[in-house]
Structure 1
Amino acid sequence: MAGPQRNNHKRPFGNSQKRTFGNSQKRSFGNSRHDQTNKKPKHGRQQMREIKRMGRRHQNEEAKEDFPDFPENDEGYESGDNIGEEPSGAMSLENNPRQAYDALMVLLDNGKDEKKTTKKSEKNTAKVQVIDGNIPGNEDEETEYGIEDIDEDEESVKKEDEEDQNDLSEDEEDEEDDEASSDPFEYHFANPQESILENFEQQVSKDSTLKWQSTKTSTSDKQYMAIGQSAPIEEQLSKGKQNIRLDGNLEQFKIKSRMNIPFDDANITNSQKLILDSVFKYKDVVFPYQHYKDESSIRDLYAAHAVNHIYKTRDRILKNNLKLSTYKEALEQGKASVEDEPELRDQSFNRPKVLILLPTRQACFAVGEKIIEISGLQTVENKKRFYAQYYSDDKVPEYKSNDFKYLFDGNSNDFFCLGMKFTRKTLKFYSAFNQSDIILASPLGLKAILEKKEKNKNNKDFLSSIEVFVVDQANSLQYQNWGNVSYILKHLNTIPENYSEDLDFSRIRMWAINNQFKYLRQNLVFGKFSTPEMNNLIGNKHSLNLSGKVKFKRNFTSDESGIGQIVFKLRQVFNRFECELPVNDPNARFNYFKTNIVPFLKEQSDDKEGGGALVYLPDYSDYLRVKNYLRYETSVNFCSLDEYSSQSKLTKYRDGFAKGKYKVMLYTERLHHYNRFEIKGVRNVVFYKCPSDETYYSEILLRFLGDSMMRDVIKDINLSVVKIMYSKWDANLLEKIVGTQRVPVLCFGSNEIYEFK
């Protein structure tokens, strides 16, 4: 889906699209690199705002030092016309090397400039930013990237903790006791059985390939298959804690009463009902929802779970603080001895407990709003700044598809990292990362933070104690760069290299000291469709969650499948090639393409009639291989469009293909995801591999071939053909296109060619 790693820093489209930040503020990038060298900016934030596009030839050499994969030429940065439409989509900083390079350099330089300020002035500045984020004009002083880490001075942090403690003491109506053994928070995080942890750790150290016990359960409506996995240990927590329930309800969980949950047992969606029990029991979950419309209800659920987890963690700490204070008073009065000191282990190395990865600021804004609502807190600090930097009313063109508008309406900036801190009465945005409870971030923004080389070596340690890890819109993250997610996983739950002076080891849970996070951390992964990368997040390499794992697999009916959406009769030919091992699939697919598809493309190339063949390639590595083969070893008259094509090439090749100058077009899935171009002149289609999303299959055929029929490029639809290449290893992709019931026949039937019409 995403491009290969060596092209990480290229951008997926031309230069003509303007980037939107914050409250619909447009940024321009001109040739002012040399202007900045003459006059040093007073502050890093001002410098960030003044970054402009540098001269093309001057910048390449400098950028190569930090980005080895920086393009050798300016091919991807030319400007051009758009033949009547603007490129739309998420314009990633990651795919714009100059912009990402400058942003990272400013972050590093910012730390150097601030060395000149006194500690006193630094503290005063931090206090103003934290206490009042709504000071008139304050928004102008904030970086538009929004990943700065504000250092909160110790005095303000201690003051907040004291206020929390006083609030707890005064409000000792204090909700129901959380320390019941039936509470998942209690038996999973607060007091897990050490014998089980030790036993399982020993088994894993002896045999890393331990097989988990699997169960399969179909939902009542047959829309999903739930595949549950429980840890292979003799002393299981209990069957009740390991079993999968697909009809969960809130009553059985000790939800904090001060929360405003936007759903209840009488008003719960089907998607929420399926995963509620697994989520609140701290199981790992991979859940592909049926439609983007279901996403809001999923966010309601995991946001409620995250806030509930934070409240229980904070309340436990405050209660134990009160117990220790009572003990110390008794000790001073001679009413207690040293032996009576309670052992209260309720903390970890750092405060952040929940990490939520999101693709865009608009998605972050939606989740942030839900957390505000669910928290039940009336005071929200820095809310105005949050709205200014994360909300936008920008809209993509109306003619784009509904799912495209859902993904890219609003602020599509994908470079951010935001801390959220909870006290008894206040929710604070833009808290320092190591003082935050929840962190909302894009993989690109968080990776930039982790890579910063600052004097403070603790900059990576704020992820050391993450207990709930959420990946939202995982499919969008794959189109950006899944390598960033993998990078972040390597930094989750690593033991800190340095400890803060006020860290009380007597309060740290033993499983944290023993580095047993991987047996307890919960991973929640959500997307529109499941992929191997999503499933791997809860695989044994990344997670060994003792409470279990649940993967949901969608069942596609014929009507829901890709071919079920085609409203006119069209020859759709599925060509199966043999491949014994999945590792051999790329070579087997390429050989089949050369033998069986290239002759068809040569016929298209020599055909004098109007229209040509579109070859759709989901994987960029396959695209490069096919492109080079057609260019150097065949006489096929073709053009190629990908996410790194310059705007001038996009214009030239689309126009040339529509006019018959080129008879074959190579077209990548990532380009389609980010732009949904209208390709004119398509008469036949070849799918080198099944599309990742069934929507893309129907879009290509309905829009491209439908347009050709209207323009008389296709005079007889019976003469057009769609060819789909697949192997038995494509079963998960294939079921989205033909429906779940047809997959066994296509993958294991006696025939190698199956035709639908």
Structure 2
Amino acid sequence: MKPIADPRLNLLTVLNVQSARPTGSTGKRPAVSHATTRDWHAIARKAQKKAKGASAGAERARRALADKVDEAAEVIEEQEDAQTDDAKVGAEDAAFSDADSDDEAAPSPSSSVAKDPFAAHFGPNSALVEGKEVSQLEEEEKKWSKGKSVLPGAGEVAWTRPDGVESAVKGEEEALQAYNAKLVEKLRASSGRTSVPPTQAAWLRTLSTCQDVLFPKVEVGSDEHDAIREACAMHAMNHVLKTRSRILKNNEFLARSALDPSSPSSTPRNTQDQSFTRPKVLLLTPFRNSALSWVQHLVSYLPPTTSLIESYPRFVSEYSLPDGASDKLVERADEYPRDHVETFKGNIDDTFRCGIKVTRKAAKMFSEFYQADVIVASPLGLRTSIEKDGDSDFLSSIEILLVDQMDVMLMQNWEHVQFVMERLNKMPEEDHGCDFSRVKPWYLDGKAAHLRQSILLSSLDSPELRALFTRSCHNRSGKLRAIPRAPNNGEGVLGMVPRGLRQVWSRFEGGEVWEEDEKRFEFFTSKTLPTLLKSAVSSSQTLIFVPSYFDFVRVKRYLQKNISQLGSDFSFAAISEYSDTPEISRARGAFFQGKKKFLLVTERFHFFRRYRLRGAKTFVFYAPPIHPLYYPEVLAFPFTAPSSLSSFQPSGDADVDESELSAHVLFSKYDVLRVERIVGTKDARRMCGLDAEGESGERRFTFV
């Protein structure tokens, strides 16, 4: 960027000559061609009203002033650098802005707008939504085309997209042209090669299409997981830098035009480059440890001119273990399964939020949400903040959503994820100093949700993930859902179960989806439990594994209420993720010593603790576990700890013989994803009644 010599131009650039909102005849909003009737007038009028209280007015004034000061600082920094070393900064700016230079002018058929995915998708007159009402977009989504294909890095995917929308994944070289050359060079340098690493290259090819992605087959802590994080981080930072670059360039254009309307630089062009609020990227992770890993990738792709990351040492300190503390989980890693260590090592606090502000010369951690470009948070941390302040307007302009380790969030509280998703891209309640004359039309029309790109990562698939992807992601560029295979090349995990252990799978009629919980409870209380109590073997030393905490509470209450009717000597203990250590120790000891005949356990307890629960000979799964490995781990409790399952070899010195053990699993057709991961793809379809025989086929299946 060339230095601005005229001091009047400096002042106009800082103050933004078009910051006045359209009122009466004081100004005329630039004409923009569009076919829909925008409803932003009510918002603009509301922005002009006086603050209800002095404190609210002062806060808005302070935020508005902070915005102006920040923009002024950026402009002044650019000018000072240019005057100090014009050649050096000019070269950096040229490299940094090449991807944006062509598409800032008025669009034309030969313009590079059509070639740049960012401009085509997020430009002010995005063809994906222009000329259509929100209701029309919602109705069209029900008729989107569907199909399957194979993509590099993702494997087989199921895609959905509007008719006529071309979302083909481009070749590597063409896809990388959508990214800043300096960032691509950083990616090459980080891997120590002359080319982009294969996994990152494949993902950037997919991400550059701006489609939504649900990828439910990334193993936590794996090299692939880290590579995907890096590619997504670069994609997000590229989006932030392009957005900020255009706003600053348009500020300068408007300032020059105001000083000299007859100059060539005053050629009309669209300067609608902004949104309701500043945050553009939202990153959700379950724990601070994963947030730290993500942020380390994000800051590695800051602009080349960034020389300072304010409060970064504080961030690393707060998102790591305290000074002097040792990670006992890592020190005893051989006592736990690898996935457990990778998930829970480091700082596992699940209540956090942090804003990251990016300017040309510096980045700032712990920035206020309305001053931030990127928000990193846990679902619980974000919900706590929203409920405390009663304000979620900072989510109104999110354009890229990244959610990592969604399988872990399923084990936390899924309602927190749904709470956040429901508040994305809603019309704001307040103006927050917004300049409506520069807001993109599709924001004002309430269409932002139809252009947001969502990238969802998980180690497994589930109905909850698919429902969220269907109901909350409406990207008009299309949607891609990777199709995971069952473990062990589709064969499942039955091969990891100790041989000779009899497993009986019983399918019950689930009815409609909203009836399944009641049908399952009825089947358990009327058939499974009475059968267990009639047997001399299964009436004691029985462990009941319940995936859902709500089902756990229901079964526990039933057993407590009917304990006298279940037998004079019937007794049970119950432990869940909410049980404290003394309570867990008492329950484990009583069950192992035979003082309690039944032990009720939640899947979340096993997820967070991964203990070996000894003393059981009969295992009852109220429903198939969400995590497939938990099935063989639980069945191997009499022989080995979960950490040793992969290397377990039967021996004659075990406390019990495999023939003394048995397992009973309840399932319905709605459990097909869980069943598939355990028994394999082929058997799962037959067992769930999805083959040619349908639900009228066999309902009881035995494995030995």
TM-score (norm 2): 0.77
1:417-496 to 2 correspondences below 5 Å: 417-453=353-389, 459-496=391-428
Q: 1:621 — aligned with what?
A: 550
Tell me the CA shift for residue 335 of structure 1: 4.0
Aligned partner of residue 225 in structure 2, secondary structure: helix
Q: 1:63 — aligned with what?
A: none
> Aligned partners of 1:250 and 1:378: how far apart in 2?
30
1:240-265 Cα deviation digits (max 9, x unpaired): xx2367x7567444211222224689
Moved more, 342-351 or 745-754: 745-754
Q: 1:258 — aligned with what?
A: 182
> Aligned partners of 1:195 and 1:534: how far apart in 2?
26
Tell me the CA shift for residue 336 of structure 1: 6.9
> Aligned partners of 2:627 and 2:281: how far apart in 1?
29
Identity %: 29
Tell me the CA shift for residue 660 of structure 1: 0.9
> Aligned partners of 2:80 and 2:414: how far apart in 1?
43
1:367-378 to 2 correspondences below 5 Å: 367-375=294-302, 376=304, 377-378=306-307
Aligned partner of residue 560 in structure 2, secondary structure: helix
Tell me the CA shift for residue 597 of structure 1: 1.7
Amino acid corresponding to residue 731 of structure 1 in structure 2: V
Q: 1:337 to 1:517 in 2, by over 3 A?
A: closer
Q: 1:557 to 1:411 in 2, by over 3 A?
A: closer
> Aligned partners of 1:719 and 1:440: how far apart in 2?
51
The answer to whether 1:702 aligns with 2:627 is no
> Aligned partners of 2:78 and 2:597: how far apart in 1?
73
Alignment equivalent of 1:403, drawn from 327, 336, 339: 339
1:54-93 to 2 correspondences below 5 Å: none
Tell me the CA shift for residue 369 of structure 1: 0.7
> Aligned partners of 2:125 and 2:615: how far apart in 1?
63
Contact kept, 8 Å, 1:167 with 1:424, in 2: the verdict is no
Tell me the CA shift for residue 368 of structure 1: 0.9
1:645-681 Cα deviation digits (max 9, x unpaired): 3433212111000001112111101111111122111
> Aligned partners of 2:280 and 2:128: how far apart in 1?
24
Contact kept, 8 Å, 1:160 with 1:423, in 2: the verdict is no
Amino acid corresponding to residue 416 of structure 2 in structure 1: N
1:372-405 Cα deviation digits (max 9, x unpaired): 2222544221111111111125232431221111
Contact kept, 8 Å, 1:184 with 1:282, in 2: the verdict is yes
> Aligned partners of 2:236 and 2:681: how far apart in 1?
34
Alignment equivalent of 2:219, drawn from 291, 299, 305: 291
Alignment equivalent of 1:661, drawn from 589, 595, 603: 595
Q: 2:463 — aligned with what?
A: 532
The answer to whether 1:642 aligns with 2:555 is no
Q: 2:254 — aligned with what?
A: 324
Q: 2:473 — aligned with what?
A: 543
Contact kept, 8 Å, 2:405 with 2:457, in 1: the verdict is yes
Contact kept, 8 Å, 2:214 with 2:482, in 1: the verdict is yes
> Aligned partners of 2:446 and 2:538: how far apart in 1?
68
Aligned partner of residue 198 in structure 1, secondary structure: coil
RMSD (CA atoms): 3.2
1:695-749 Cα deviation digits (max 9, x unpaired): 2112212344446988977532112111211112211111110112222222225
Aligned partner of residue 327 in structure 1, secondary structure: helix
1:578-634 Cα deviation digits (max 9, x unpaired): 233222222222222224321343146x5499x711111001122122222233332
Alignment equivalent of 2:316, drawn from 348, 363, 387: 387
Tell me the CA shift for residue 481 of structure 1: 1.2
Alignment equivalent of 1:279, drawn from 194, 207, 213: 207
1:91-240 to 2 correspondences below 5 Å: 153=66, 156-163=69-76, 165-166=78-79, 171-173=89-91, 174-175=94-95, 176-178=98-100, 179=103, 180=112, 181-194=114-127, 196-199=129-132, 201-204=134-137, 207=139, 210-218=142-150, 224-231=155-162, 233=163, 236-237=164-165, 239=166
Contact kept, 8 Å, 1:464 with 1:495, in 2: the verdict is yes
Q: 1:337 to 1:585 in 2, by over 3 A?
A: closer
Aligned partner of residue 524 in structure 1, secondary structure: strand
> Aligned partners of 2:133 and 2:206: how far apart in 1?
21
Aligned partner of residue 640 in structure 1, secondary structure: strand
Q: 2:24 — aligned with what?
A: none
Contact kept, 8 Å, 2:287 with 2:378, in 1: the verdict is yes
Tell me the CA shift for residue 224 of structure 1: 4.6
Q: 1:408 to 1:462 in 2, by over 3 A?
A: same
> Aligned partners of 2:538 and 2:388: how far apart in 1?
58
Tell me the CA shift for residue 512 of structure 1: 1.0
Aligned partner of residue 694 in structure 1, secondary structure: coil
1:139-176 Cα deviation digits (max 9, x unpaired): xxxxxxxxxxx999456424433245537965344232
The answer to whether 1:416 aligns with 2:352 is yes
Tell me the CA shift for residue 531 of structure 1: 1.9
Q: 1:357 — aligned with what?
A: 284
Contact kept, 8 Å, 1:354 with 1:468, in 2: the verdict is yes
The answer to whether 1:592 aligns with 2:517 is no
Q: 1:153 to 1:244 in 2, by over 3 A?
A: closer
Contact kept, 8 Å, 2:282 with 2:402, in 1: the verdict is yes
Moved more, 643-652 or 559-568: 559-568
> Aligned partners of 1:466 and 1:167: how far apart in 2?
32
Q: 1:717 — aligned with what?
A: 658
> Aligned partners of 2:553 and 2:194: how far apart in 1?
52
Aligned partner of residue 554 in structure 1, secondary structure: coil
Q: 1:204 to 1:599 in 2, by over 3 A?
A: same
Amino acid corresponding to residue 632 of structure 2 in structure 1: S
Tell me the CA shift for residue 423 of structure 1: 1.2
1:493-528 Cα deviation digits (max 9, x unpaired): 222222244x32222111111111111011111111
For structure 1, the residue ranges without an aligned partner over 5 or more in a row are 1-114, 124-149
Amino acid corresponding to residue 682 of structure 2 in structure 1: Q
> Aligned partners of 2:595 and 2:384: how far apart in 1?
44
Q: 1:79 — aligned with what?
A: none
Q: 1:93 — aligned with what?
A: none
Q: 1:391 to 1:740 in 2, by over 3 A?
A: same
> Aligned partners of 1:425 and 1:707: how far apart in 2?
53
1:177-211 Cα deviation digits (max 9, x unpaired): 33222111011002444574333635246x48723
For structure 2, the residue ranges without an aligned partner over 5 or more in a row are 1-54, 104-111, 643-649
> Aligned partners of 2:176 and 2:182: how far apart in 1?
17
> Aligned partners of 1:664 and 1:172: how far apart in 2?
74
> Aligned partners of 1:337 and 1:714: how far apart in 2?
85
1:110-162 Cα deviation digits (max 9, x unpaired): xxxxx9xx99xx99xxxxxxxxxxxxxxxxxxxxxxxxxx9994564244332
How many residues are paired up? Answer: 593
Amino acid corresponding to residue 166 of structure 1 in structure 2: Q
Contact kept, 8 Å, 1:289 with 1:295, in 2: the verdict is no
The answer to whether 1:756 aligns with 2:679 is no
The answer to whether 1:630 aligns with 2:559 is yes
The answer to whether 1:740 aligns with 2:685 is no
Alignment equivalent of 1:684, drawn from 603, 618, 642: 618
Contact kept, 8 Å, 2:399 with 2:453, in 1: the verdict is yes
TM-score (norm 1): 0.72
Moved more, 188-197 or 584-593: 188-197
Q: 1:524 to 1:496 in 2, by over 3 A?
A: same
Contact kept, 8 Å, 1:616 with 1:667, in 2: the verdict is yes
Amino acid corresponding to residue 216 of structure 2 in structure 1: P
Contact kept, 8 Å, 2:160 with 2:480, in 1: the verdict is yes
> Aligned partners of 1:275 and 1:162: how far apart in 2?
35
1:62-96 Cα deviation digits (max 9, x unpaired): xxxxxxxxxxxxxxxxxxxxxxxxxxxxxxxxxxx
Q: 1:395 to 1:300 in 2, by over 3 A?
A: farther
Q: 1:274 to 1:660 in 2, by over 3 A?
A: farther
Q: 2:271 — aligned with what?
A: 344
Q: 1:464 to 1:217 in 2, by over 3 A?
A: same
